[in-house]
Structure 1
Amino acid sequence: MKYFIATVLARGKRESLPIYADNKKDALEYAKIKSTGILIKVVEATEPLDSQFIRFKRDLFQNFKKKKIKPDFIIAAIRQLAVMTNAGISIYDSLSEIASASDDEALKTVFSKLADDINSGHSLSASMENFRYELGNLTIAMVHLGEKTGNLDDALYSLADMLEEIRSNFIKFKKAMAYPRNVMVAMAVAFTILISYVVPEFKKIFESLNAELPIPTQILLTLEHLFNNYGPYVLMSLIFSFITFRYFVNNYKNFRFGWHKVLLRTYLIKNIIKFSTLNRFTLVFSELLRAGIPIAEALDTSIEMIDNLPLKEKLYSVRITVEKGGALNKGLKDTQLFENMIIQMVSAGEESGTLDTMIQKVAEYYKMRFDAIIDGLSEAIEPIMLFFMAAMITLLALGIFLPMWDMGNALQGR
């Protein structure tokens, strides 16, 4: 958000009105709504420090107040909404009934507010925009599809199936990560105990020698000093760093873009993000094409539900290519995200008029690739886990035993 100052003439006096908006056009609109006088001008300005602090505090607390709806509850609610919509029950009554019957407080709050917005004349997808964090991009994209095609119930059924598939993949991911996670936690606990209770005993012996200590021993003693003297401060610093990092990721697009770029270069994570994103993108895109939505418009909706910003930017270039009259396969090829086989399939679909079918097959291919990564996750993580274990054991062994060997050699007169 940028900071603007609107100058307004009210009751014969000039007043300055602070406005937060993405651009000057939006700032003008907000100024017209907020002010009761005559709007003279709107200019971008530097936000005062006290206002920055107040906004930082407000946004920080808002981030912690936000709660994502539990996957099981949102899937059940979406499926229930699909059934009720198919039965001819109004959206307002359906949302109100689901909200009153739900045990999840986050879902109850969101669906109640959605019902109020519907009652005020807003569309369901427009109302959901205010709850993008709680509901997710995919939910909003599929509801938007249903409203465009006039088959909201079918779109909701498809959405429930997609969310169940995502939930299933997440459970598989958690199961695959359970063993490596438990081993790493056990290693961290063991290392902390050794640093806190065992190393101090050796430290007394090493200090009595007054000898020059090897580098591994110096590292161990430094860690011991930090743990035993500044442990709570280190922990608080880590927590504060995490909170600050989360705030910047949620509130600053450039920072979030950079973080997403780092994730796309990280071992294993990059493939998980890439294939899950391409699977969802092609799945929604194929549904839109099957519903008769023009390619450019279908691309807009499909790209909108992507979370990773660098991938979103690359795929948006496809939209620009198609808008200029270029072929879809050329736009996809220029992103360098798709294999030649996929480009050939899309090209064949464009020539034969079966593009929606081909895109659906592409979605199935990326689902297969994603499932293969999840299934082999434990084996892929093992080398990393072994590396950390070896590094920790080597540090402890060299840090403790090298001075002991030096001391033994000294006693033997070597």
Structure 2
Amino acid sequence: MAVSSATSSKASKKNTTKPNDVFIWQGVNRKGKKVSGELSAASVLELKTQLRKQGVTPGRIKKKPKPLFGLGGGAKALGPADIAQVTRQLATMLTAGVPLVQSIEMIGKGHDNANMQKLLGDINLKLSSGIPLSDCLREHPKYFDDLYCDLVASGEQSGALETIFDRIATYKEKSEALKAKIKKAMTYPISVLVIAFIVTAILLIYVVPVFQEIFNGFGAELPAFTQFVISISEFMQAYWYIGLAALFGAGFLFKRTHRNSQKFRDSVDRAILKLPVVGEILDKAVVARYARTLSTTFAAGVPLIDALESAAGASGNAVYRDAIMEIRSEVSSGMQMNLAMRNSQIFPDMVIQMVAIGEESGAVDDMLAKVANVYEAEVDNAVDNLTALIEPMIMSFLGVVIGGLIIAMYLPIFQIGKVV
């Protein structure tokens, strides 16, 4: 009995060993290329041993700081940026010659997100049992879409998985960068206008009534502009909750209809492309996404018909989705892709000419990659120009609205001498 208690005591001590630390490392692989990443290890010495097994000569190593007060760690929701990061790490390890199963295991153990650890652990478990990686990934469609899985399957068939993962990582990184630019273009003006609306509502509901009480003691007729602002204030005080409910109701109805109605989503996509300035940016972004997707899939050895279907799904806009599917139909019947794109009448001439040159030279994927680079750069410049253009317009708008309210409140005070 004493022996068993001693044994259980030792076992409990083993189970309460200190967890490994996460280290940020930099080094050089066998090809002389600089690589970096994060790994979990008990010590720096163990980390260096792991890196040398991967064919990496370790350089700078530092312990990753732990989040204060327990924030930032644990199980956080996974997004496309997390998948892009893991894909890049996997491409780096496979290029360094680390086996696939070991690479996924090391990335999972070194990740500080419990959800990512669980996801990679599940994939690795099935992979170790002999299931192809592409099939393992298809069981998690929330994180790995059909395009991702099809590219991995292509890499498995060709035996160039490290090259495919490098292309997927580049594709994911470019896609996320493009999304960030579009969000930047939309978020700034919307956030400023929302703040302006809130400030105006506060002035009308709480500040104007104070001035109104003062004006009531004047015993004189108020200027028309002041009376107009007071009328708006009285309406806001009486019915602000109805307006707020209507605003939330309209937002809820729009979101629900957009989620449930394909026809409504298509109408919204068409309307967005017709917006001034913003529509042009979104148009260029869709062309860049189309070119990047088609270039990545075509270079990976995916048949053109399947690549066009993937590009249609990744376009993110109903107008281009329908046009690309029509192009796919015409290409499958024997028409050249550049002619089919010209028939769609939505692609710029430069894109069509680049595709035509690529078809003649047999380098369609290279030409499309160049098109993607050009349009991604144009989106970046357009977003910067939009921000520079909108800033003075928003400042002018705020000046007119806030300044108008202040003038309306002080007009009677300017005329107080006549009243007295």
TM-score (norm. length: structure 1): 0.66
Partner deviation per Cα, 1:74-133 (whole Å, 9 max, x = no partner): 333112323455536345x65455444422244345445545665787655555456555
Deviation, 1:267, is: 3.1
Matched, 1:311 2:320: yes
Count of aligned pairs: 344
Cα distance in 1 for residues equivalent to 2:139 and 2:405: 52
Q: 1:338 to 1:83 in 2, by over 3 A?
A: same
Deviation, 1:318, is: 1.0
Q: 1:133 to 1:199 in 2, by over 3 A?
A: farther
Choose from 285, 303, 308 the match for 1:299.
308
Secondary structure of residue in 1 paired with 2:79:
coil
Choose from 319, 325, 331 the match for 2:334.
325
Q: 1:390 to 1:244 in 2, by over 3 A?
A: same
> 1:177–1:378: 8 Å Cα contact kept in structure 2?
no
Return the letter of the residue paired with 1:297. D
Secondary structure of residue in 2 paired with 1:165:
helix
> 1:272–1:373: 8 Å Cα contact kept in structure 2?
yes
Choose from 291, 298, 301 the match for 1:289.
298
> 1:142–1:284: 8 Å Cα contact kept in structure 2?
no
> 1:346–1:358: 8 Å Cα contact kept in structure 2?
yes
Partner deviation per Cα, 1:235-258 (whole Å, 9 max, x = no partner): 566456545543443444333323
- Map of 2:232 onto structure 1: 222
Deviation, 1:328, is: 0.8
Q: 1:269 to 1:175 in 2, by over 3 A?
A: closer
Cα distance in 1 for residues equivalent to 2:266 and 2:130: 35
Deviation, 1:322, is: 0.5
Q: 1:68 to 1:258 in 2, by over 3 A?
A: farther
Return the letter of the residue paired with 2:232. T
> 1:68–1:135: 8 Å Cα contact kept in structure 2?
no
Return the letter of the residue paired with 1:204. E
> 2:294–2:368: 8 Å Cα contact kept in structure 1?
yes
Q: 1:323 to 1:120 in 2, by over 3 A?
A: farther
More displaced 10-residue stretch of structure 1: 199-208 or 279-288: 199-208
Cα distance in 2 for residues equivalent to 1:326 and 1:299: 14
More displaced 10-residue stretch of structure 1: 320-329 or 337-346: 337-346
Partner deviation per Cα, 1:158-193 (whole Å, 9 max, x = no partner): 222233334445666677788767755664454244
Cα distance in 2 for residues equivalent to 1:110 and 1:250: 27
Return the letter of the residue paired with 2:377. M
Choose from 116, 119, 123 the match for 1:107.
116
Return the letter of the residue paired with 1:222. I
Cα distance in 2 for residues equivalent to 1:380 and 1:148: 50
- 1:74-223 → structure 2 map (5 Å cutoff): 74-85=83-94, 87=97, 89-90=99-100, 94-95=103-104, 97-115=106-124, 124-125=133-134, 128=137, 131-135=140-144, 139-140=148-149, 142-143=151-152, 145-147=154-156, 149-168=158-177, 184=193, 187-188=196-197, 190-204=199-213, 214=224, 217-218=227-228, 221-223=231-233
Partner deviation per Cα, 1:139-166 (whole Å, 9 max, x = no partner): 4564455356443321211222233334
> 1:69–1:104: 8 Å Cα contact kept in structure 2?
no
Return the letter of the residue paired with 2:87. I
Cα distance in 1 for residues equivalent to 2:281 and 2:150: 21
> 2:138–2:149: 8 Å Cα contact kept in structure 1?
yes
Q: 1:400 to 1:98 in 2, by over 3 A?
A: same
Choose from 69, 77, 83 the match for 2:79.
69
Cα distance in 1 for residues equivalent to 2:363 and 2:416: 79
Partner deviation per Cα, 1:349-407 (whole Å, 9 max, x = no partner): 323333333222222221222222133232132354145325414652565467778x7
Partner deviation per Cα, 1:178-224 (whole Å, 9 max, x = no partner): 87677556644542442233211233356676969847844654355
Partner deviation per Cα, 1:21-49 (whole Å, 9 max, x = no partner): xxxxxxxxxxxxxxxxxxxxxxxxxxxxx
Percent identity over the alignment is 27
Extract unaligned runs of 5+ from structure 2.
1-75
TM-score (norm. length: structure 2): 0.65
- Map of 2:351 onto structure 1: 342
Q: 1:116 to 1:377 in 2, by over 3 A?
A: farther
Q: Rg bigger for which structure?
A: 2
- Map of 1:10 onto structure 2: none
Q: 1:380 to 1:96 in 2, by over 3 A?
A: same
Cα distance in 2 for residues equivalent to 1:197 and 1:262: 38
Q: 1:240 to 1:139 in 2, by over 3 A?
A: farther
Secondary structure of residue in 1 paired with 2:316:
coil
Cα distance in 2 for residues equivalent to 1:181 and 1:329: 38
Cα distance in 2 for residues equivalent to 1:247 and 1:324: 39
Choose from 279, 289, 293 the match for 1:280.
289
Deviation, 1:324, is: 1.8
- Map of 1:266 onto structure 2: 275
Cα distance in 1 for residues equivalent to 2:250 and 2:185: 28
Q: 1:139 to 1:292 in 2, by over 3 A?
A: closer
> 1:137–1:305: 8 Å Cα contact kept in structure 2?
no
- Map of 1:56 onto structure 2: none
Q: 1:375 to 1:248 in 2, by over 3 A?
A: same
- Map of 2:66 onto structure 1: none
